[in-house]
Structure 1
Amino acid sequence: MEFRILGPVRIWTDGQEDALSGTKQRTTFAALVLAGGRTLSDEHLSRMLWDDNPPNTAGAQIHTYASRIRRRLGAEVPLVRIRSGYRLMADQIPCDYTEFTHRSQAGLQALRGQEYERAAQQLRTALALWRGEALVDATDHLIDAERPQLEEERLEVLEGWIEAELILGRHRQLIPELTRLVAQYPMRERFRALLMTALYRSERQADALSTYLDGRRILADELGVEPGRLLARTYEAVLSGEVRTLMPHQLVH
């Protein structure tokens, strides 16, 4: 058995995919998985299912969703009622989010320890666990509550992987992906700094400087602020030529 929430919410058993029965049931299951063994109250589940407008039968419906999930999981994966809530006891069940967290932590630790090949491999494997946007077929209420943090974790891992790849000298291959990421996240300074580094190391100093100036303009127009320390240091390194000798992790940390 395997749980998946980094994309469509699914249970896999003996190679068979179970999409559960409807958005509400998937939401209840995903919320319990994300709780990581903690008890979720009926009140919390109700907010994830209906926000501030639960039906009069909310308690009975939550009980029904839990009962159906329990039948799908079987006796070996307890879903227990604890006072006015539910707890999923599934530490032994593989889960894409749990594996993502484990691989991410190992990869980022390797990056800090200057084990760049290992960091790149671990972080690449972590990113491969994503099958689209997380919780894609759950309720908007659960998505609004949980996806921002999940997405932030994914982006931090993506930044770490790109940094490791840059250190390993793969700057030319990274430019198309970094260009796309800077366009998608124009105010995320680390992507822009990494793109500047990749461009400079590819003998494209003018493009690196243009990338900085574009970011400075966007930050001024959108937020009314100057570039942060990260972009400023990268800009200075490009101007002085230090990017040839300064490692990317020294620029971005």
Structure 2
Amino acid sequence: MGRPLLIDGLANARDLGGLSRAGGSVTPMGAFIRAEMLDRLDESGWESLRNYGVRTVIDLRRPSERSGGVPDAIELVCLDLDGDEQDFWAAFEADGRWGTPLYYLAHLHDVPHQLAAVLRAIAAADEGAILFHCGAGWDRTGLLAAVLLRALDVTHDAAVEDYVASFKNAEAMAALHGRSFDVEERLGVLTRFGHTPESAFRSMYERLDLEDWFRIAAIDEQTRIAVTSWRGAANAED
């Protein structure tokens, strides 16, 4: 997986750099960091993130979930990646797939404008690292991470390893945040659909055709270039 970040107030944070790409190179460090909610960060934690290069935080949570803020030196962008399209979410909420990668492809194709707004924000962000997060740093964060990893043709094995790291971090997250992150429930849903966390993410990632999705979502050229080069940090052809 990418480089774990040992920062007080975070238990599921990692740099998406250092992941193997199909061409033999690795993803660049210091471009994108994924994490869970930032509520437990104190002044020293924020200082650590700023020293690491974070200049923008993208909060993917629904408005009702948002809490806290960020220091003045860091830009906060709040975008509800889920969206409120109840016609889309009803089936996934009924059978529990909403908390797994089993909804990712449907979300990308049925409500593409939600992720498109996030990618436009990434393209427009100031220089510096971008930290993106949701509540657990697991599935909304995982969906965005999957797209970013696919953009640099990260290998299937490396992408899967990054996703399942959140399962490995679940106990530490529960201790830090004082709440359950529903590991057994997630596993139960996946089992009912014939999957493990690894197979569910891998199946989705193998079928994720990013160029086709760019077309469906009407992604502009500036945003496409920003995503496929990780804001100029990587060679998309490498």
Please give the range of the TM-score, normalised by the shorter of the 2 chains: under 0.3
Larger radius of gyration: 1
How high is the TM-score relative to the length of structure 2? Answer: 0.26
Q: Report the structure, 1 or 2, having the larger helix content.
A: 1
TM-score of the superposed pair, with normalisation by structure 1: 0.25
Structure showing greater relative contact order (alpha-carbon pairs closer than 8 Å, 6 or more residues apart): 2
